[in-house]
Amino acid sequence: MPVAQIDAPSFGALVRVVLDGDYQVYGMIHDIHIDDDGLVRQLVTAEGVEEAIIADNRVNRNVPLEMSVLAVGYKLDGKVSHLLPPRPPLSLDVIYLCTSDEVREFTSSGRFGYFRHLLRATDLPVGELLAAHIQQAGAMHAETGNVEWKNAATQELITLLRDDYAMLMSVLGALGDMG
Amino acid sequence: MSLDFLQVSQQVQQLGEKAVQHQLDLKDKLTQTSELLAERSQDIEKLGQKVLEVAHNYDPTLRCAIPIQEALNDHFPLPDLPEQVTLIAADGSQIFADRHAEVDYCLVNTGAIWMRYGLPDAPKTSIQSQLIFAEEMEGMSDDRLSLQRDMAERVRLLELARQVQAPLITLTDGPLEIWTTTLEEGRVAGEFKKNLEKYLDILHSLRELNATPAGYVDKPGADLMVRLLEVASAKDEDLAQMRTYRPFKGVTDSVLYEYILQPGERSAVFGIQSRSSKPYQNELALHFFYLNVGRPGNPYLARVEIPRWVVDAPTLMDNLHAVLVSQCEMIGARRYPYLLHRAHETAVVSIEDKEQVTQMIVRELHKRGLEVAGQSAKQYNKDVSGTRTRYGT
């Protein structure tokens, strides 16, 4: 996709894949990266790349932009679950960015069960990921007057991480940095 | 592994031995041609006359350079870039007819990209895809399709040239003239003639727009100048065997001019003596120059083909010269005009694209209750064994 389009999905955003009418899988974006291709590598050897050429590469060229998504739950027959999905998405299934309503529905269902999946993923920047998610989802809840969601999410994290002081400090530190 | 590497390695060794001898021969010939070039550099009129005489009396197939007004070893420094100029590049790609495929069709894809120098805006791009099927497939060959592809590029260039702001340069990859290898065969010859007339009209229209059309030949292997020097060195008694008189065979123009042109410099402009360039007359007459787009200590030559009206307009020549060097510098170490590369990238049809088009056609035919012959057993087995390669451009 042209790089100019990357403003839609962001780190920590909730996405969903519709597998069939009443079954969809939810995931959280934990990595976005753009692999430079041969032409870009070639261009950096030029002395000073002109603005028009930079714009061409950002606007016109298809560059391989890859996002990694961690499964965090699913919805079956209208009911949201924070357990791991029974079946994974298939190749070439389309991923949609969740709307504010969908984010509110997923994150207010149950008691933050999906945090478990994030906290288990020790090879990811868990603190940054949780902080980004809580900030985005908290803002969406606040839009409908639910300012308590953010506090409740933070409290749940403190409970889940009570035996892992280092991780707790990492998550709270990241949340604090985001204000 | 399907090669007998033992056999090949012995032949590679022989190749190496021959290459050393060939290199030594070429070095001698290069010295002679360089000396002759310097010696005859001012004989512009005399050499021009001799070329015409040889072509007329002894070898009508003669293909070589014709000096016109600048000395043979002249070299011209890089001019300043124009403040504003529009550069349009077009390139074509195709899906050739494949009798082993499931369905019979061809496709020509034309990519174009244009930018305005002096503005920071991103270049604009366009793609035109033309499916060729049914009665249009009658007598289709790779050559015919290549000709259609070349024509589509040129038609697109004119369409865009009419829309953009002047002054403007249009760029295609390869020689400026259109070409087909089966020129002599009746049916193709007729079609080629029709296309040639259309192309000459396009060139006339570009002339009316005061555009600068150029054909960019990367890594040129031609010996147009070397052949001119062979004509120059031929004595009267050699003229009858001019076709086989090749004392400097193997030396290419680019090697010859590598020693003359500094980075950014262009050579003198020459006309082209050849049978295929004859239809390009007067202001459309084909000319060329060599351009060193390399860096100090690392020369890299391109041949640039232009029509006569550009040669006669110093500003158009300077703008083209400056823009081409600037384009090559944009892309970094491996010098080639940025916009031409992007035109290619825009046009290129991948093997996946081809598969998709094939499947679209198959689905359409099935939807209408029609039988599809299916791919040949040969193609099926090739696919299964995974020997297919990327689709050519």
**Contact assignment for A47 to B329 by CB distance below 8 Å:** yes
Backbone angles phi, psi at B74, to 5 degrees: -65, 150
Q: Is the pLDDT of residue A179 over 70?
A: no
pLDDT tens-digit series, residues B317-371? 999 999 999 999 998 888 999 999 999 999 999 988 999 999 999 999 989 998 8
In chain B, which residues have pLDDT < 70? 1, 182-188, 384-393
- Closest Cβ–Cβ partner in A45, A51, A58 for B333: A45
pLDDT band at A148 (very low <50, low <70, confident <90, very high): very high
Average pLDDT over residues A43-58: 86
**Contact assignment for A52 to B122 by CB distance below 8 Å:** yes
Residues whose CB is less than 8 angstroms from the CB of residue B100 and which lie 6 or more positions away in sequence, other chains included:
B375, B376, B378, B379
Residue B90 has a pLDDT of: 98
Joined together, the tokens standing for residue A156 give 């749940």
Residue B393 has a pLDDT of: 38
pLDDT tens-digit series, residues A100-135? 999 999 999 999 999 999 999 989 999 899 999 999
Residue B199 has a pLDDT of: 97
Give the chain B residue nearest A58 (alpha carbons).
B122
- Cβ–Cβ < 8 Å for B339, B90: no
Residue B185 has a pLDDT of: 55
Three-state SS at B288: strand
Residue B372 has a pLDDT of: 81
Residue B140 to residue B71: CA distance in whole angstroms = 46
Q: A4 CB near a chain B CB, below 8 Å? A: no
DSSP string for chain A: --GGGGGSS-TT-EEEEEEETTEEEEEEEEEEEE---HHHHHHTTSSS--HHHHHHHHHTS---EEEEEEEEEEEETTEEE-SPPSSPPPTTPPEEEPPHHHHHHHHTSSSSTTHHHHHH-TTS-HHHHHHHHHHHHHHHHHHTT-THHHHHHHHHHHHHTTT-HHHHHHHHHHHHHH-
Please report residues of A whose CB lies closer than 8 A to that of B119: 52
Residue A28 has a pLDDT of: 96
Q: B74 CB near a chain A CB, below 8 Å? A: no
**Contact assignment for B331 to A46 by CB distance below 8 Å:** yes
Residue A6 has a pLDDT of: 47
Q: Is the pLDDT of residue A144 over 90?
A: yes
Residue A2 has a pLDDT of: 52
Residue A16 to residue A114: CA distance in whole angstroms = 14
Buried residues in B226-260 as b, exposed as e (16+ CB within 10 A): bbbbbbbbbeeebbeebeebeebeebbbbbbbbeb
Buried residues in B69-107 as b, exposed as e (16+ CB within 10 A): ebebbbbbebbebbeebbbbbbbbbbbebbeebbbebbb
Average pLDDT over residues A24-50: 86
pLDDT band at A11 (very low <50, low <70, confident <90, very high): very high
- Closest Cβ–Cβ partner in A42, A44, A52 for B123: A52
- Closest Cβ–Cβ partner in B122, B338, B341 for A55: B122
Q: A92 CB near a chain B CB, below 8 Å? A: no
- Cβ–Cβ < 8 Å for B263, B295: yes
Give the chain B residue nearest A54 (alpha carbons).
B122
ipTM rounded to 2 decimals: 0.73
**Contact assignment for A50 to B125 by CB distance below 8 Å:** no
Nearest CA distance, A179 vs chain B (angstrom) = 37
How long a stretch of residues is chain B? Answer: 393
Residue B392 has a pLDDT of: 41
